[in-house]
Amino acid sequence: MINAFIIGLGGFFGAIARYSVGLWIGQRWGRSFPLGTFVINVSGSFVIGLAMSLLTERFIVNPQWRLLLVVGFLGAYTTFSTFEYETGALLKDGEWMFASLNVVLSVLAGFIALKAGEVLAKSI
């Protein structure tokens, strides 16, 4: 029961962070390309690479930290289902170039961010 509470607490803050970041980016740079979702997915990939490397390889911590930060916060913060929906909407609107760009950039930048987080964790 405590683990579910820990995950829920992390998810609560992750969802608020996701909404806030997406809203801010949309207001600042517009919504013609799903930049908010892109930035959220890339930054989430970076943080999960950093957090998992630190929490599993570098430091001895209570496993509940992984539940709070990775399962809860990052699970709510990252937006793969939104990514899929927005890509589908772009295709439906005939914006195949933006849809393709969203897929390629999200996957490549997300993977690079994941690896960068792991590298940073090893240098700490």
pLDDT at 12 (0 to 100): 98
**pTM (2 d.p.):** 0.84
Question: How many domains would you assign to the chain?
Answer: 1
Is the Cβ–Cβ distance between 35 and 90 less than 8 Å?
no
pLDDT tens, position by position, for the chain (124 residues)? 999 999 999 999 999 999 999 999 999 999 999 999 999 999 999 999 999 999 988 888 999 999 999 999 999 999 888 899 899 999 999 999 999 999 999 999 999 999 999 999 999 8
Is the Cβ–Cβ distance between 42 and 113 less than 8 Å?
yes
Structure tokens, 92: 């439906």
Q: Domain of residue 53: give its range.
A: 2-123
pLDDT at 44 (0 to 100): 93
